[in-house]
A = this chain, B = another copy of it.
């Protein structure tokens, strides 16, 4: 069932038996490795186990083995681009990749980022690998018709939404925003019943997609444990990320919400990396524009502190910690 659902997702994203896909997620103690390898193979595609690291060897294998699809995190192509273009002097488009199957971290929901990958590599960049470690490896992907995640876990999972605060069930209909709750319908070991995933989704559609699939479609709004209430408004770090990404290169896109006292909050203090060092007047102006844009798009009041680019510490996975609590509970 795991492999069936995973294969449905990769198939929806465009993977076919004629593809020769190189799998560049870590094979160590993680479902992104061996389990996704099985999932990719279940589509009938030929799968090359590559894992992480050795990017120069990867380029050689892509060329020599006639690889035409890649499976990785969405941040990897950006890293690989530097090596391919600057170090090896190759135009990434000349490597012949036509399909990118991405997952494991956010990023691809940003259309500008997607477009940049597609223009650089000449390949379709697909969000193809959405799952929950505790529940099932991969049960959602976008199709080739729109850019909405299709729920593909039918038969394996019962999908429900609840209000993350009250625990109350919410109707599955277009526009509902709620925390995803999953129940295993077919599982040999450790079945979970009404497991709270902490992922907050928005339902984008429940009718058939133009691709022919009939399951519901959604986007990931954020993590319930990262949700902050500001005067009755639910604010997710992902929403702030989306607004800031639209302002690149004035900002880098990195930020942190700093909570210096327990709730309730009338506003949020947000530390934002500016795109470059600026004069005091420019800084004031940028801070105001960020606050205004957040108010317009997400309807809450923000007080912005600007810091130089690179000031906000990234984790080893390249992710920044989005919510920092400086008070003790």
Contact of A49 among B27, B48, B54 (CB under 8 A): B27
Among A37, A49, A51, A61: residue with most chain B CB under 10 A: A49
| List of B residues within 8 angstroms of A131 by Cβ | none
Once bound together, how far apart are the Cα atoms of A50 and B27, in whole Å?
Answer: 7
CB within 8 Å of B: which of A1-46?
Answer: 27-30, 33-34, 37
| List of B residues within 8 angstroms of A27 by Cβ | 27-28, 33-34, 49, 51
Tell me if B28 and A54 are in contact (CB < 8 A): yes
Tell me if B28 and A50 are in contact (CB < 8 A): yes
| List of B residues within 8 angstroms of A30 by Cβ | 49
Given contacts A34-B34, A34-B37, contact A49 B29 (CB under 8 A): yes
| List of B residues within 8 angstroms of A33 by Cβ | 27, 49
Tell me if A48 and B29 are in contact (CB < 8 A): yes
| List of B residues within 8 angstroms of A50 by Cβ | 28-29
Given pairs A27-B34, A28-B51, 11 additional interface contacts (CB within 8 A)? A27-B28, A27-B33, A27-B49, A27-B51, A28-B49, A28-B54, A30-B49, A33-B49, A34-B34, A34-B37, A34-B49
**In the assembled complex, how far is the CB of residue A31 from the closest CB belonging to chain B, in whole angstroms?**
9
Among A30, A34, A50: residue with most chain B CB under 10 A: A34
**In the assembled complex, how far is the CB of residue A46 from the closest CB belonging to chain B, in whole angstroms?**
9
Q: Mark A122-153, 1 if CB is under 8 A from B, else 0.
A: 00000000000000000000000000000000
**In the assembled complex, how far is the CB of residue A41 from the closest CB belonging to chain B, in whole angstroms?**
9
| List of B residues within 8 angstroms of A54 by Cβ | 28
**In the assembled complex, how far is the CB of residue A3 from the closest CB belonging to chain B, in whole angstroms?**
12
Once bound together, how far apart are the Cα atoms of A27 and B33, in whole Å?
Answer: 9
Once bound together, how far apart are the Cα atoms of A34 and B47, in whole Å?
Answer: 10
Among A27, A33, A37, A61: residue with most chain B CB under 10 A: A27
CB within 8 Å of B: which of A232-289?
Answer: none
| List of B residues within 8 angstroms of A34 by Cβ | 27, 34, 37, 49
Closest B-chain residue to A61, C-beta based?
Answer: B29
Once bound together, how far apart are the Cα atoms of A61 and B49, in whole Å?
Answer: 23
**In the assembled complex, how far is the CB of residue A4 from the closest CB belonging to chain B, in whole angstroms?**
17
Once bound together, how far apart are the Cα atoms of A266 and B134, in whole Å?
Answer: 67
**In the assembled complex, how far is the CB of residue A7 from the closest CB belonging to chain B, in whole angstroms?**
16
| List of B residues within 8 angstroms of A48 by Cβ | 29
**In the assembled complex, how far is the CB of residue A15 from the closest CB belonging to chain B, in whole angstroms?**
17
Once bound together, how far apart are the Cα atoms of A112 and B143, in whole Å?
Answer: 59
Once bound together, how far apart are the Cα atoms of A54 and B29, in whole Å?
Answer: 12
Among A29, A30, A33, A54: residue with most chain B CB under 10 A: A29
**In the assembled complex, how far is the CB of residue A316 from the closest CB belonging to chain B, in whole angstroms?**
13
Once bound together, how far apart are the Cα atoms of A37 and B28, in whole Å?
Answer: 12
Once bound together, how far apart are the Cα atoms of A27 and B48, in whole Å?
Answer: 10
